[in-house]
Amino acid sequence: MALLDVNNLSISFGGLRAVDNFNITIEKGELYGLIGPNGAGKTTVFNLLTGVYKPNEGIIRLDGDDITRKSTIEINHAGIARTFQNIRLFRNMSVIDNVKVGLAEKFKYSALEGMLHVGKYRKVEKEMDYEAMSLLKVFDLDGSRDVLAANLPYGKQRKLEIARAMATGPKLLLLDEPAAGMNPNETKELMDTIALVRREFDMTILLIEHDMKLVSGICEKLTVLNFGRVLCQGETKEVLSNPEVITAYLGE
C-alpha cells in the first residue's frame, strides 16, 4: 500500500481551478519532487494535503486512512509535517524551544503540572531536552540551542524548520522550496541534510523545488504541474527529458 495516495484532487478559487484532477502516489521511503512554473499550484497542493484548504473534490489517503477533510492539526497528528516557502519559525523562541514545540504531542504532562512545575514536569522536560538535543545534533544545530531562532543565519533557519517538522514524528515530510534564496554552497549542504534525514529517519519526502540541480540530484520521481494540472509524472530522468516538460517549464 502506498504511503500517500491522492485521487482526483481539485479546488477552485472563484472561477479559477487552481488544482485540477491532481493524482499522486508516493511509496514509503521515496523522495518525490513536485515541480512546475510559478503559479502552477504546487503550494496549493501542499495546502490541500495539510488541510489549510479543503478540496472541492478528491480523496487524500495517508497510510490507508482518509484524511481528506481533516484539520491541519489532525493531519499533523496523523503524520504529515511540513516546512514553508517563506520560513515560518517561532522567531522569538530559542532553537531548542522551537523543536520542543514540535515534540509537545509526544511528551505530555498536564497544564497544572506545567504551571506548578510539579509531578511529571521535571522528568518529561528532561526527556524532551534529550530528544530535542539529539534531533538538533542530526541537523548540526546543537551548538546554537539557546540562540533565538530569528538570529540564526538563513541556512540554519531552513534546517531548524526541518528539524521542527521532524520533531512531530511524521510519516511524510513536505518541503516547500527548501532551497529558495540559498547560494550554491548552502544548496549543496541542504541536499546533504535532506539525504541525511532520509537515512537517519527512513523518511518519505515530497518536495517542491525550482533548483533543478537539487531536483535532478536527489529526487527519484517527479510530478510536473502546469496550470493546476499534472503535465507529466514518473522517474526523474524520463520526466526531465519529456519534450512537453521542457517547453512548459525547463525551456529549450
Positions touching other proteins (CB under 8 A) are 50, 52, 72-73, 76-77, 81-82, 84, 88-93, 97-98, 100-102, 104-105, 107-109, 111, 113-117, 121, 124-125, 128, 146, 164-165, 167-168
Q: How far is the CB of 149 from other proteins (least distance, A)?
A: 8
Cα–Cα distances in angstroms (integers) from residue 191 to residues 147, 216, 225, in the given order: 24, 11, 22
Query: What residue ranges in 84-184 does DSSP mark as E strands?
Result: 172-176
Give the whole-angstrom CA distance, residue 241 versus residue 85: 27
Q: How far is the CB of 184 from other proteins (least distance, A)?
A: 27
Give the whole-angstrom CA distance, residue 42 versus residue 196: 25
User: Toward other proteins, which CB reaches closer, 81 or 248?
Assistant: 81
> Any idea which residue has 511529571 for its cell?
120
CB 1 within 8 A of CB 62: no
User: Toward other proteins, which CB reaches closer, 82 or 221?
Assistant: 82
Give the whole-angstrom CA distance, residue 87 versus residue 180: 10
Q: How far is the CB of 57 from other proteins (least distance, A)?
A: 24
Q: How far is the CB of 71 from other proteins (least distance, A)?
A: 8
**C-beta atoms surrounding 107 within 10 Å:** 17
Joined together, the cell numbers standing for residue 232 give 507529466
Q: How far is the CB of 108 from other proteins (least distance, A)?
A: 7
